[in-house]
Amino acid sequence: MTNDNQAYGRRTVLKQIATIAALGVTSAQAQAETGDAKKSAAESAGAAEEGGHQTRRLADYAAAVRYEDLPPAVLQRAKDCITDAVGTIIYGAELPWSKMIIAYARHNGAGGKSFILGAGGDPVHAPSAALANGALTHAFELDNLTKPDSGAHPGATLFTSALAVAQERGIGGRDLVTAFVTGGEVMIRIGRATKHTNEARGFHAPGTTGPFGAAVAVGRLRGFDAATMTNALGVSGSLAGGLLEFAHSDGAMVKRLHLGRAAEGGVLAASLAAEGFTGPSTVLEGHYGFLRVFCTDFDLAELTRGLGQDYVTMTAMIKHYACHITAHNPVEATLDLKQEHKFSGADVAAIEIAGNERMAKVNNIPAPKDVLLAQYSIPFSVALSVYRDPRDPRSFDDTAVHDPAIGALAQRVKMTIVEGQDRRDLACTVTITLKDGRVLSRHVTEFRGTPERPLDQAGLREKFMLLTRNFDRAKMERMFDRLQQIETEKTLDWLKV
């Protein structure tokens, strides 16, 4: 009885607001006459109209994408991200926190057809493979993301979810690449629409955007129509999550899980939608939808801006160092200065890094307690790059965290905020003061691997071979070549290690 009365009350409020609008009353007058409750109801009812049905428009687009219509450069960027993801997964499988997730996935997902890369052994069911491979991709701060930062990680969420389902269903490389691009075009736009305020609010952004992209990638792989794709997106919104508390406390292993859960969530959302399970068709733009609930500010227009014309997949970038993306420009600047002026760690008196507020606050961790937090720390990553080669992920280990020289230098790194610099702008100026009185400075706006300075085939191969060096070199060379021509592969059951 109470529910019926509440429903009737909402309908009455909406009718009153519609009447007021028809009489030409201003929004301020309407609020005065209807009160806050009526204002909230109006916003809820009008959300789809205000947002232009963005969720449905994205679903329409995703259902209609064809491989033949995608530009060659976009397809190549997708293949580069896929190749990079495979290398990061294989490397990530060696790590202790990854082994815990692998064991869980094997125990709960046995009997499937999808492989956990780098782990060997029998295949598992698709959700478990997506969970494990997604977490392994992000296991050591090596996976690809986007510039400008959208809070989306294409390789960790799109590739891992799509691969799991492609192997399960015997689908080939051409469809996989199409699914990757389709998921990216949706997921990256969702990330941009957040204006990164989901992370400013305390959510780990890729854990919130990832389920949407993964669901679209899987839906595209399975040939969803627009209605089913809409439901897949609708379900994904209830699977978004991931908190940033690890960056301010302990327990940084959980950061890796966020990407695995996002990939797994996308598989779940698409699988349920395929069975007719429904989700809200205004999951992104609605009053209680993703953007309004997860974000303090957002831009609805970003959801569909340039859709089908401007390929945001081209904003994907490939990491060059095994540390958080905010540390890449500072590390690159430090390496440039070190190479040019030939100084050592013992010569450095102090370092100052000027960048955005996020760099100076979230990633300013001068004394990280473990490797996982160290990789998230700009001061530590810069100090390490003075003493070790940050291009080799094995440089970031327990011995580095407990190295007195690296630790002491990290404590002498001062982070400052450049007034007015957007939190998505990762440009920085590194100033190194040497003990002999010299002051060296370098400003870096993009590192090697960004869209402005993309890795060439040689650079991509170098990273892949470095990450997979514990395996047979000839086999890894062949795998790299096949991944670069993955659209010609009829099935993907060969993609295992």
For the stretch 31-62, pLDDT in tens is 333 344 334 333 433 444 444 799 999 999 99
**DSSP assignment, residue 346?**
G
pLDDT at 44: 37
What is the per-residue pLDDT across 261-312, written as a single tens digit (0 to 9) for each? Answer: 999 999 999 999 999 999 999 999 999 999 999 999 999 999 999 999 999 9
The per-residue pLDDT of the chain, averaged, comes to 90
Q: Please give the residue that has the higher pLDDT: either 346 or 3.
A: 346
Q: How far apart are CA 16 and CA 199, in angstroms?
A: 38
pLDDT in tens, 342-400: 999 999 999 999 999 999 999 999 999 999 899 999 999 999 999 999 999 999 999 99
The DSSP result for 384-415, as a single string, is HHHHS-TTSGGGSSHHHHT-HHHHHHHHTEEE
Per-residue pLDDT, averaged over 411-429, amounts to 95
List of residues 6+ apart from 296 with CB closer than 8 A:
197, 200, 201
Helices (H) and strands (E) in the chain, counts: 22, 8
For 271-299, b/e burial (b = at least 16 CB within 10 A) is bbbbeebebbbbbbbbbebbbbebbeebe
pLDDT band per the 50, 70, 90 thresholds, residue 153: very high
Q: Provide the pLDDT for residue 248.
A: 86
User: Between helices 126-137 and 254-274, what is the axis angle to 10°?
Assistant: 150
Rounded CA separation 324/322 (Å): 7
Give the per-residue pLDDT at 250: 87
Q: Is the pLDDT of residue 228 over 60?
A: yes
What proportion of the chain, given as a percentage, has pLDDT over 90? 86
CATH 1.10.1060.10 fits 56-317, yes or no: no
- Decide if pLDDT at 124 tops 80: yes
Q: Which CATH architecture has domain 325-444?
A: 2-Layer Sandwich (3.30)
Q: How confident is the model at residue 9 (pLDDT cuts 50, 70, 90)?
A: very low
pLDDT for residue 423: 84
CA–CA dist 256, 371 (Å, integer): 13
Identify the pLDDT of residue 28.
36
Give the pLDDT of residue 52: 75
Written as one string, the DSSP assignment of 185-248 is HHHHHHHHHTTTHHHHTTB-HHHHHHHHHHHHHHHHHTT--HHHHHHHHHHHGGG---BGGGGG
| pLDDT value at residue 174 | 98
Residue with tokens 């450069």: 73
Token output for 207: 């854990």
Indicate if the pLDDT at residue 19 is higher than 50: no
- Looking at residue 428, the DSSP 8-state letter turns out to be E
229-266 pLDDT tens trace: 999 999 999 999 999 999 888 898 999 999 999 999 99
pTM metric for this prediction: 0.86
Contact 268, 231 (CB under 8 A): no
* Contacts (Cβ under 8 Å, ≥6 apart) of 143: 84, 85, 88, 137, 153, 155, 156, 259, 319
Strand intervals (E) in 248-387: 316-317, 348-355
Q: Determine how β-strand 439-444 pairs with β-strand 413-417.
A: unpaired
Structure token pair of residue 11:
């309908």
Q: Where are the domains of the chain?
A: 2-48, 56-317, 325-444
